[in-house]
């Protein structure tokens, strides 16, 4: 695919010292993502985005967190954010190639997932499709996750849906090193 141009221009270096410090904290010294540079071009949007406070670890394991994020980005068709996360975190989260592919093309009950992960993915799918969980879906989720983790799962779904809206709506070009969606066979 040819590169796209963001619909809102990203900040360009040199960045204001406060913004540079924030980028360094989030990116751990790596160049800031286009997403962050575009959002930071609007001070209010940047402050609200950062105030979401979901850029930290939270109560979920890295693996659980990445499954939620990757699936949310996949169901919202946000290749930009999905690719960034798969590239940066899939290996550390212990996701196999089959599982990475399944975040985009697989069903929640795919055999590559544990029972807990199937409940997690089913919850992500339900939140995307209906913005709620049935009693049965909540019961399945709560069989594996405590209240703090369930809050985090729902918050991550909503936060990364917002990130997906931003990346898709602003037509962000895919990051050069990011993974690409797998294609159906």
What tens digit of pLDDT does each residue of 121-139 get? 999 999 999 999 999 999 9
Name the residue among 105, 89, 79 with its Cα closest to residue 180. Answer: 79
* CATH (one of 1.20.1290.10, 1.10.4000.10, 3.30.390.50, 3.40.50.300) for 62-169: 1.20.1290.10
At 146 the pLDDT is 98
Residue spans of alpha helices (H) in 15-134: 17-27, 34-39, 43-51, 62-75, 79-89, 97-105, 115-130
Segments making up each domain of the chain, as ranges: 17-51, 62-169
Report pLDDT digits (tens) over 57-99. 789 999 999 999 999 999 999 999 999 999 999 999 999 999 9
At 13 the pLDDT is 96
């Amino acid at each position: 695919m040819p590169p796209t141009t963001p619909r809102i221009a990203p900040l360009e270096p040199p960045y204001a010292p406060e913004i540079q410090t924030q980028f360094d904290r989030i990116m751990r010294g790596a160049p800031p993502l286009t997403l962050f540079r575009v959002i930071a071009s609007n001070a209010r949007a940047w402050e609200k985005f950062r105030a979401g406070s979901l850029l930290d670890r939270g109560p979920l394991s890295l693996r659980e967190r990445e499954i939620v994020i990757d699936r949310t980005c996949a169901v919202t068709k946000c290749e930009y954010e999905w690719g960034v996360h798969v590239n940066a975190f899939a290996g550390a989260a212990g996701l196999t190639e089959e599982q990475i592919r399944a975040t985009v093309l697989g069903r929640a009950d795919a055999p590559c997932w544990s029972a807990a992960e199937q409940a997690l993915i089913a919850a992500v799918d339900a939140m995307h499709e209906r913005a709620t969980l049935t009693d049965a879906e909540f019961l399945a989720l709560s069989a594996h996750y405590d209240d703090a983790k369930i809050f985090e799962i729902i918050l991550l779904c909503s936060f990364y849906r917002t990130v997906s809206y931003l990346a898709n709506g602003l037509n962000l070009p895919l990051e050069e090193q990011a993974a690409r969606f797998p294609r159906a066979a």
